[in-house]
Chains A and B, each alone.
Chain A
Amino acid sequence: MKKKTTETLIVLLILLTLLPQIYAYIYPPHINPETAPEEETPSISILLAHALDDLTAQNFTETLKLINNTNHLHIPQNYKYILTRTTELLRQLTDTLKQIKETLRETETLIEYGKLKDAKAKLNETELLLKDANYTLKEVENAVNQLVQTLKLSSNPFKEKINETKNLLNQYTQTYLNLKQTVDEVLSKIEQGTLIQPNLTISTNTTKTPVGSTIKIHGNLTASNKTLPNTTITIYINEQPYKTVQTNENGKFETELKLPTIYIPTITIYATYKPRETEPYIPATSNTIKIKLIYQTPTITILNAPEKIRPFKNYTIEGEIQLNNTPLANWPINITINQKNIKTKTSSQGYFKYTINITTEPPTHIINIQISTQPQKTISSATAKITIPIEYINPQITVKTPKIIITGIKFKIQGTVKTEDGPVKNAAITIKIGSKIITTNTNKDGAFTAKIVLPLSTLSRKITVTIFLAPEEFWINTKTVKIQVTIINPITIIAPLIPILIPVTNTLKTKRKEEAKIVIEKEIIETVTPTAARKKEVKAKHPIVALYWETLEKIHDKIGVYPQPSQTLREYLSQIKERIKSIAEKFEKLTILTEKALYAEKISKQDEKLAKELHENIIEELKQ
């Protein structure tokens, strides 16, 4: 049971560990595009089907949009030519069908207005377009078949769509034939006299008139030299129905037309007549009269405008408005500055003046000023536009920094910021040295000072000090100054000396020791006397020497004879031998061992033990 729980836990742990990998497998952040598999069915089939759908639904704009989007399709390089040819033919077919639809609609309108000659001309044009469309459709069909075969697409949906397109073209052809038949029938009926083509003529009392004035229009509607009384005539101005009038008993009409207040050079006027179904007439359209409109356009002249604008400074824009070289006095004008509208008037001499002061940062770096006048009667509006760039100025910054900075010691970075207008006040100064950032501001004289201490943890190196200036005024550009300085850390700079100093000190110590040893050994060898053996260095050479000296001290206490500096160990032994009879033998042995300790290279542990025993025995005996 316990084993099972452990196993389950292990499996769970493994699964938990693998969870991110499983997630990454399901949702990889990306795949290698170069090794990514290609789609089995190229997507051109979907797009082409949709394009043909739109074409048969006569959504020509959508069809053209889809054709344009084929540029974004992924097509293997080998098949690009076939696709390009197909889409180009399809584009051509779409354009032609669009034109056919348009010409058929125009023909219908022309027939509606009784312009049979023009309708016939349009029909001829349509006939050519239909021939062209039929030819292009055959080419499209061939190209689509080729594409289907090359890309191994299913041909059925395309066959269906091509047939639908053929049907559409047939529909257009049928409409064309119907319209042609209508025109031919009407013309034939006119020839036969069963239908009469009326004649509608109009005239005006003037061909030149001021804008917004009223003109008189006279008209006459006749059919086969007969007048058509009480008939409704529609008068069109610039292709738009403007007024309807009735013919009198003589088939004539007269009306006053208040022309619209539009300031264009000419307007066109014509009239139409549409017979009732019971009447044996066809519709008629009159002659077109062009009326020249008289109006005057004032001229706005900017006399004075700044080339550049600096915010918070006053600038004057001056100008004059004239009409045929005559000043327009007290004329209302609109001044628009960056979408802010100001209404004012010209002076009695036709001058205008406006003081501009920019206080807020505009979204673009330019100021758009538009001066316009309102139209009044026969004086049209006038507009003058000027664009003035905002002057962004570069500040001058001078910085003083020490070339060498020592860590742990306070140093100063000083500087001044100015422009040609004077010092830059309250500008934010950010100083960055390594990871340390200090911020300060310029004073009223544009000067700044930053006192900085670099921590002792900063390592010695060359470093770039970055000083970033951000002025309060948006028209003064920001500026960055970079200065190279050398940081010296007095603590860490000695680090390279440590590996040099350690062996040097060691070598010197060893050398000194060796020298001392040589001197001592020389001394010992040359004059090994009990006095010399008393020296600390000699005592330290071997514990036996120390034991000898301790024994000698005790002997001296007993017999009161101390070795002379000139005496050797043996000479001293000979001198006192008689006086220390009882311990003479033991002291002799100790003397020999001491000599051995002083001269010999090596001394055995046994000798040391023996010396210790001799020393203890002598001391013991001396006490008794």
Chain B
Amino acid sequence: MKKAKIITLTLTFSTIFMLTIAYMMPSTDNYNPENPFWNGLKNLKNITNATQITSTTQLKQIIDPKHTAILILGPEKPFTPQETQTIKEILEKGATILVADDFGQANTLLKQLQIQCKFTQHLLVDPVFYYKNRKLPKIFHIKNTTWTKNVEELTLNYATTLNITSTEIEILANSSEYSYIDINMNDQWDQGEPKGSQPILAQTRIGKGNLILLSDPSIFINSMINKSDNTQLLKNIAKGKTVYLDLSHYKTTPHTKLKTAIQTTLNFIYVPEAKYTLVAATTIITLYATRKTKEKTEKEEVDEIEEVLKKHPNWNRKILEKLKEWRESFGTNRTTQNT
């Protein structure tokens, strides 16, 4: 019985400890706003105070679209027609949406929105203007607009380009004349690979809203946001708006899933009903357990005397109880002396 109790307690505390560790350990997922490492969006979250969206239906809760900016960065899951409809509705009401992608699923959204532009999903390389190497190209052909105010240079990271087929889409930034698209990824320009200035940032109006397209979501990760004027671009987009960050199109790791589950549970616990029920239940269980233990001890004590009396009915109960008391006090004193 005692053994089982120890095992149960050990298991319980191990589980609590494990869950605490899992909760405390920061996420390492790409584009995760809780990830403080190089590939996370912790800095973006701090700069924009972005609210995280785990389902596109949450967008329906936005009551002031004109003062809303939604960031969709590197979506890994395709957009459903229902999601596209929700996004379209909020755009038409005046929201600003930044869709930044390179090799993800944003084209599914653009196609459904009937935008005459797509992410080429081929690597943009600049052998002249770059940060450290040609896969981190620098962009400085930037048109002066509301979104690009005080943005003189951007540094991209494994970016792609935009294929714009409509004059209604305004190009805001281009790569340098030396850049090219490395289709076969052999780090050099080959015959047939497009070369020269390529569009990387564009915007179009949908209803009363603005749709901004950027061919690299990585410019906002923690290790890139402070490069060139990347932060300024983000600040311009977020200026005077409530920012929402779409997390519903990422594939999360089990660790992040566990963290989310713990967080959801904690959020539920913070609800007064749950909180006070838990406090009351814990108090009652503790009291009950204490009482049970006490009763058990008393019973055991009584049982010992009863058993002796059964064997020797003539013996005096009071003397037996006195003897037991002496034995216990003697045992305690011995233990104290030994210590």
Contact = CB atoms under 8 A, between A and B. Distances in A.
Contacts of A497: 280
Contact of B223 (A34, A73, A492): A34
A265 interface: no
Given A27-B103, A430-B63, A33 B217 contact: no
Contact of B280 (A23, A466, A500): A500
A86 interface: no
A431 to B, nearest CB: 9
A38 B132 contact: yes
Interface stretch (A39-47, A371-379, A542-550): A39-47
B24 interface: no
Interface in B147-203: 153, 155, 157-158, 176, 178, 185
A31 interface: yes
12 contacts: A29-B218, A30-B39, A37-B132, A43-B134, A43-B178, A46-B178, A459-B273, A461-B271, A493-B272, A496-B277, A499-B285, A500-B280
Interface in B264-284: 271-274, 276-277, 279-281, 284
A43 B63 contact: no
A380 B281 CA distance: 93
Contacts of A496: 273, 276-277, 279-280
Contacts of B185: 26
Contacts of B157: 30-31, 33
Contacts, number: 132
Given A30-B158, A37-B132, A503 B284 contact: yes
Nearest to A36: B132
Contacts of B246: none
Nearest to B31: A29
Given A495-B274, A495-B276, A503-B288, A29 B30 contact: yes
Contact of A73 (B121, B128, B227): B128
B23 interface: no
Contacts of A72: 129, 138, 140, 153, 176
Given A460-B273, A499-B280, A466 B63 contact: yes
A468 interface: yes
B278 to A, nearest CB: 8
A603 interface: no
B333 interface: no
A468 B64 CA distance: 7
Given A33-B131, A72-B140, A500-B280, A27 B121 contact: yes
B140 A29 contact: no
B135 interface: yes
B129 A43 contact: yes
A499 B278 CA distance: 9
Contact of A460 (B60, B129, B272): B272
A6 interface: no
Contacts of A274: none
Given A74-B131, A496-B277, A503-B284, A32 B121 contact: no
Interface residues of A, number: 44
Q: Is the interface of A mostly helix, strand, loop or mixed?
A: mixed
Contacts of A33: 38, 131-132, 136, 155, 157, 223-224, 227
Nearest to A500: B280
B217 A29 contact: yes
Given A30-B30, A31-B135, A32-B223, 14 more contacts: A27-B123, A30-B158, A33-B224, A39-B130, A47-B128, A461-B271, A466-B63, A468-B63, A480-B64, A493-B273, A495-B277, A496-B277, A496-B279, A503-B284
Contacts of A493: 272-273
Interface residues of B, number: 54
Interface of A: 23, 26-34, 36-39, 43, 46-47, 69, 72-74, 430, 432, 435, 437, 459-461, 466, 468, 470, 478, 480, 489, 492-493, 495-500, 502-503
Most buried by B among A30, A47, A74, A489: A30
A506 to B, nearest CB: 9
A154 to B, nearest CB: 15
Contact of A29 (B74, B138, B155, B273): B74
B66 A478 contact: yes
Contacts of A502: 284
B157 to A, nearest CB: 4
B221 interface: yes
Contact of A37 (B133, B271, B279, B287): B133
A496 B269 CA distance: 12
Contacts of B36: none
Nearest to A26: B185
A435 B140 contact: no
A468 B65 CA distance: 11
10 closest A-B pairs (Cβ-Cβ)? A496-B276, A30-B218, A499-B281, A27-B103, A43-B128, A468-B63, A30-B157, A430-B63, A492-B273, A496-B277
A502 B277 CA distance: 12
Nearest to B227: A33
